[in-house]
Amino acid sequence: MTIHNRTVKLNSGHTFPLVGYGTFGGNDAATQVYNGTKFALEAGYRHIDTAYLYRTEEAVGKAVRESDVPREEIFVTTKLWQTFHEPEHVRPACERSLKLLGFDYIDLYMMHWPMSWKFRGYEFDQLKVPNENGDIPTTNVPIIDTWRAMEGLVKAGLVKSIGVSNFSIAMLEELLKECEIKPAVNQLEIHPSLPQEEMLEYCNRQNIILTAYSPLANPGYSGVPSMLSDPMVLKIAEKYKKTPVQVLLNWGVSRGYAVIPKSVTPDRIKANLEYFEMDKEDVEAILAIGRRNPYRSCAELYVMLFSTIYNSSPLRDFGPSNNLFNEPL
């Protein structure tokens, strides 16, 4: 078995592994993520993706510290929640993540969503408080104000690189006009049904790397087309004698961005790291799936694995004030 060791150099100068281990989960996520991260590091992963909201930072940090892999060889991403967008809350939020992780620095600190919400405190039960209508009103904190506070984290040595998540091209353009430190990464939903070609082309021009969450398009959830049973994906899997999951993950890496699959099963964690070269015509054949019928799977999920505290559909989970993807009301 050949494992993924492909990396890219971020615009911050740091090395970024293109296959990572995702760590969001359910109520027992901490235990599962601790065990999963330990195995992932043993299997060869060197990129771990977490977030303050996931409540898995402590588990990730413990697994990293207990591993035989030197800390400097492991790239750890975590994220700033939107109740912390006011500049005075950015550093305290980052320091809380550092304390939970047990680290001296974070490799990549990202703005989790572009929306800003009212600050209610740093505790987990204060992160997502809807009003009586089930909506979480947004506040008017300019993105550049939050970003400048994040730039301060880099200058203070708490963070090596900074990035964004779920940003549109227009949002990136506005940020790039005013920022001192460019975002190194934009993390968003990418899979064959949502190939994000325009975004990928734009970020390539700007030297911003993409990370794909939901790289498998959330298979197994009601109402979501499964890419794992798509005839073209199955045909290509048979050609290479690989699983459909391995095909989709290698398809993403072949396009030049990072993928962060999540699993708690050791055999799957290991299999997700398997690398193989795909012919260009096969990459194009899978790309054609999304060109025919683009589909944002996360926005269509009403109940996700982590729906009690995390959902990639801002309208469904956060209310109409947060309709980032212009979903039908």
Interval 209-224: pLDDT, tens: 999 998 998 655 545 5
Q: Which of 13-17, 86-90, 215-219, 273-277 has the lowest mean pLDDT?
A: 215-219
257 is catalytic: no
**In this structure, which long-range contacts are made by residues 94-102, counting pairs with CB atoms below 8 Å and at least 24 apart in sequence?**
94/153, 94/158, 94/159, 95/158, 96/52, 96/122, 97/52, 97/57, 98/158, 100/52, 100/57, 100/58, 100/61, 101/57, 101/58, 101/60, 101/61, 101/64, 101/76, 102/58, 102/61, 102/62, 102/65
Contacts of 267 (CB under 8 A, 6+ apart): none
pTM of the shown model: 0.90
Mean pLDDT of the chain: 89
Residue 310 has pLDDT above 60, yes or no: no
Percentage of residues in the chain with pLDDT exceeding 70? 86
Most confident of 123-137, 242-256, 285-299: 242-256
pLDDT at 208: 98
pLDDT at 227: 85
Interval 270-291 mean pLDDT: 94
Give the confidence band of 304 by pLDDT, cuts at 50, 70, 90. Answer: very low
Give the confidence band of 30 by pLDDT, cuts at 50, 70, 90. Answer: confident
Interval 34-41 mean pLDDT: 97
pLDDT at 4: 80
Interval 135-146 mean pLDDT: 94
φ, ψ for residue 274, nearest 5 deg: -75, 130
Catalytic residue among 21, 52, 54, 257: 54
Residues at the annotated binding site for substrate?
112
pLDDT at 132: 87
* Tokens 């994220």 found at: 79
Interval 306-329 mean pLDDT: 56
Residue 270 has pLDDT above 50, yes or no: yes
